[in-house]
Every structure is written in C-alpha cells, then in structure tokens.
Amino acid sequence: MTDFSELGLSAPTLQAVADTGYTTATPIQAQAIPVVLQGRDVLGIAQTGTGKTAAFTLPMVDRLAAGRSKARMPRSLVIAPTRELADQVAMSFDKYAKGQKLSWALLIGGVSFGDQEMKLDRGVDVLIATPGRLLDHFERGKLLLTGVQIMVVDEADRMLDMGFIPDLERIFKLTPVKKQTLFFSATMPPEITRLTKQFLNDPVRIEASRPATTGENITQHIVRVPSPDPGMKRLALRTLAARDDVRNGIVFCNRKSEVDIVAKSLQKHGFDASPIHGDLEQSMRMKTLDAFRKGDLKLLVASDVAARGLDIPDVSHVFNYDVPHHADDYVHRIGRTGRAGKLGETYMLVTPADARSLDKVLKLIGKMPGEVTLDVDWSAVKPSTRAKPGRPERRGDRDRDRGRGRPASETSVAAMTPAVPIVAPEPVEAPAPPRAKTARPERPAPQPRPAPSRRGVQPVAARDDDDDRVVGFGGDLPAFLARPPVRV
C-alpha cells in the first residue's frame, strides 16, 4: 500500500486529499501520479472503481497550479463520454483543487449555452466536456483549443461504444501536437489501440489489472428464469430486491423502454425505485442521482448510460435484469458495487434466450458465477403479451405496448364500422347483344394546305398520297425547309 505523501504531490493537494478522508492510494493512482507529474503520456488500464479519476485529477491540479488561464483558451481538457461521468470529474476537480486558484467549466448537453459561454469568456484552466457539446462551442467560435497543455480521455472504450471516435479524432487534431495526453480505459479494443498509437507519444503503459476483469471483492450470482416472459423476470427481480441484505442497488436493463417499465413495476409493488436513461431531461437525471447518492432512493433502474462513470461509493447490490449484449458492459455494470475496497454482490437474470450473450460474458470474465435458485411459483405468473415464450422480445412488441401498431380487436373494429341498413340489390337488365360490325367508310382525300407566306419563299404543293397516313411533317412543311439553297 502506498501513501499519497510518497507520490510527489504538493502540500495543498495533499491537504485536499486528506480532507476527503483518503490516505492510501490505489494501484492505478500509485503508478500513474508520479508519471503524470513528470509530464509523460500515460496509457492507463484498470477495472472500473479503482480510482482512475483521481489518478489524473490530482497531478493535473499540481501541474496547473503555476500559470494563468486565457479567455476561451483552456490549459487542460478532459473528455468524457457521458454527462454523468463529466459531472463526476468536475466534482472531483472541485474537491481536489480546494485551496488552489484554479477555475473550471463543465460543457455538457441539456444545459444552457449562455451560462457555459460566460465561463469560457472569463477563461478557465480546466475544461471538462462531452465530445458533442465541446464541438458545438468550437463551431460557434466560442472556444479555442490551441492552448491545451494536458488532454485527458476518460473511459475511452465507452467512447467507442457510443460512436464518438470520429469526434475524438477531430478534437485531437484541434489541439496542439506537443501536449501531454492521458488515456484511461477499462478495456482495450483494437480501435482504441489504434488511437493510442496515433495520438500518444511514447506513452507509459500502466495496467493495474488485466483488461476486462471483475473485482475480487464482488460476489457474482446467476439466477435462472425458465422463460423470457417479462412477468417472470420482474417477479425474480422483486424477489431478489426484497432480501434483507439489499441496502440499495442498481438495476440494469438493455433498453431505455424497459427501464421505465421495470421502474414502474417496482413502484407498483411498493419498492422505492426511479429510472435513469438518456431520454430523460438532464435536470431529472441529476436529481435522481443525487437522491440515490444521499440514500433517499433505494433502487436505481438504469440503462448502460449509467454503467460508466457513476461514482457512488457504497452500492451494496447490482442487478442485471438483462444479460448485456456486449460482454464488456457486464464488467462495467457490476463495477458500480464493491468500490474502494468494499464488498459487493451482483445478480444476473438469465433466460433460455440469453444463451449466446451469457457465453460471451463467461468467456470474458473467465469464471462461472454461482447459481441461485429462487423459491417462487413461476406458474402463478400470467403470460405477458409483450414477449412470447421461447424468443427474445422484439421491437414490434415494444411498439404495441406503447400504442403504436396495436392490432385492433374484432370488437373495436365493429365499433368503428358505421351501421348501414342492408338493402336488397335492384334487378339488373341483361346486356344487349353486340351489334354487327359495319364497313368503315372511306375518308375523303386530304385537302392541300398552303405553306406559310413568307418573303422569298414559294408555296409548296401538298403531298398527294393514296391514304391519310402521316409521313414526316404531314401536309405541313416548315418554311425554312422550303427555302432555295444559297449558291456561293
């Protein structure tokens, strides 16, 4: 174990760390902080919940303590994939920069441009932003990145999952070539490896753990559900959430629509639960997170937008309502518990339709979690209309639940059809016999038509054909064709 006083941090920064109650650095912090203070590029790989945010925030505060910021030209830039993660970094910087004359600005969506532009006009030392909002300010001419000395990319693999790699490449090209770059990620897909080779200069690779591994202090369980029917899955979730050892927990679903449905189901059965996903307003998301952090909310039902960057120090349980489509997401989801050395417990609901996704998860983590059998009466669950047994839920099923494309019943069709009295059809007369064909009378010969009268043009006699077929221009010859040739 390494004490923070041994890492070369300044006295004000060490005091700020002591005020937070931390005295011992995590492995990623102990290895990364001295290297960052030397000004070298860092490629940090560590599982979620190991303190990556403090690993770059603390030395960044020390390096920026000397110098002054300029208007619209931040000296340090931190890129985060989600609003929640960016807000967490901002809170960490505010906490660790206590006593230092450093300013920061948070650029995320869902917040007024005007307030953010006012901070940029005054000048900030640290800019913390999501890629989209950062580029929006740049395109408006409100921001210059030519003064960036330190650039941090946090949760780089999440950037890849959310499709931010093109934006990230553009941001790199807007910053100076000679800068210190800190790249932190929990996994290292090939695309992320390509970025590090392209934009990092001889980085120091720091691996606090093998990529995509789960914490040893997290106990993992699998719960078998006999059918993919949502009613059975919700019954299993309620049974698990009602256990006495569940102090609080995060429930993860694969789809945003499922988040709302599961949260409403839990609320209906008396559980203290609220949803959080990307379609909610930013103010509502922050309000829900604050309530969960303070302990005013017991169950947080979330999509994968909350799987990365949520720094809630004391989450007792994580429930995977759905097996994640991407195996890496499983590592990040369960990483919300067992943080800072504390114990955590996770449960994953598995149906027969989840066999392929489960195989990917087991192959990634390299071990088989223990199986838990629930003492419930599955036959008491009424079959749900949202998903048929034996197949996963499809988009059309969700659309019918929302009222789009719902097939009308016979009763509703009858109700919408206007009542029309039945009238017997009138007798129809038999059709008259066809008339015999008669010989076609001969047409009169076409009468000659005079050519247009123009100066120097002689009228041309009309064609005297045997029939009335139209050949060429018929009986009308344009005047320009009737002009005599010009002899030279």
Identify whether the C-beta of residue 180 lies closer than 8 Å to the C-beta of residue 160. Answer: no
Residue in this structure with the two tokens 């078998």, named with its chain if needed: 224
Residue 7 · residue 33 · CB < 8 Å:
yes
pLDDT band at 403 (very low <50, low <70, confident <90, very high): very low
pTM of the model: 0.62
Arithmetic mean of pLDDT, 375-381: 86
- Please report, to the nearest 10 degrees, the dihedral formed by the alpha carbons of residues 106, 111, 115, 119 taken in order: 10
pLDDT digits (tens, 9 = 90+) for 446-481: 565 655 555 544 444 444 444 445 555 556 677 777
Pairwise CA distance, residues 395 & 211, whole Å: 33
Residue 385 has pLDDT above 60, yes or no: no
- The pLDDT of residue 282 is 78
Q: Name residue 42's beta-bridge partners.
A: 182, 204
When comparing pLDDT for 59 and 439, which is higher?
59
Picking from 122, 123, 65, the residue whose alpha carbon sits closest to that of residue 93 is: 65
pLDDT at residue 99, rounded to an integer: 78
Predicted confidence at residue 389, as pLDDT, reads 41
Which among 172, 130, 133 has a CA at the least distance from the CA of 155? 130
With 70 as the cut, is the pLDDT of residue 374 above it? yes
9: pLDDT confidence band, cut at 50, 70 and 90?
very high
Pairing of strands 24-25, 2-3: antiparallel
Percent of the chain's residues with pLDDT above 90: 44
| b/e per residue 358-387 (b: at least 16 CB within 10 A) | bebbeebbeeebeeeeeeeeeeebeebebb
Q: What is the pLDDT of residues 131-162, one digit of tens each?
A: 999 999 999 999 999 999 999 999 888 888 78
Residue-level pLDDT at 199: 93
- pLDDT of 408 over the 60 cut: no
Answer with the residue of higher pLDDT: 445 or 207. Answer: 207
For 86-91, the CB contacts below 8 A with 24+ separation are 86/128, 86/129, 86/130, 86/309, 87/286, 88/53, 88/309, 88/310, 88/311, 89/53, 89/57, 89/128, 89/154, 90/128
Confidence of residue 421 (pLDDT cuts 50, 70, 90): very low
User: Average pLDDT of 111-130?
Assistant: 92
Which DSSP category does 305 fall into?
A: G
The DSSP code sequence of 404-461 is SSPPPPHHHHHHHSPP----PPPP-PPPPPPPPP-PPPPPPPPPP-PPP--TT----P
User: What is the phi-psi region of residue 144: left when phi exceeds 0, alpha when psi lies from -120 to 50, beta otherwise?
Assistant: beta
Domains of the chain: 2-207 (3.40.50.300), 218-392 (3.40.50.300)
What's the confidence (pLDDT) of residue 475? 63
Contacts of 422 (CB under 8 A, 6+ apart): none
101-110, 338-347, 388-397, 451-460: which has the highest mean pLDDT? 101-110
Arithmetic mean of pLDDT, 331-345: 83
Of 106-120, 239-253, 454-468, least confident by mean pLDDT is 454-468
| Integer-rounded Cα radius of gyration of the chain | 37
pLDDT tens, residue by residue, 230-242:
999 999 999 999 9
pLDDT, residue 313, reads 74
Place of tokens 């560590």: 46
Residue with the bigger pLDDT between 131 and 433: it is: 131
Select the more confidently predicted residue: 86 or 408. Answer: 86
Among residues 112, 104, 148, 97, the alpha carbon closest in space to that of 129 is found at 104
Q: What is the mean pLDDT of residues 39-48?
A: 86
Count Cα neighbours of 116 within 13 Å in the Cβ-side half-sphere.
Answer: 19
Q: What is the pLDDT of residue 8?
A: 92
- Higher per-residue confidence, 304 vs 351: 351
Predicted confidence (pLDDT) per residue in 158-203, tens digit:
888 788 999 999 999 999 999 999 999 877 888 888 999 999 999 9
Q: Tell me the pLDDT tens digit for each residue of 64-91.
A: 987 777 777 999 999 998 888 898 899 8
Residue 317 has pLDDT above 80, yes or no: yes
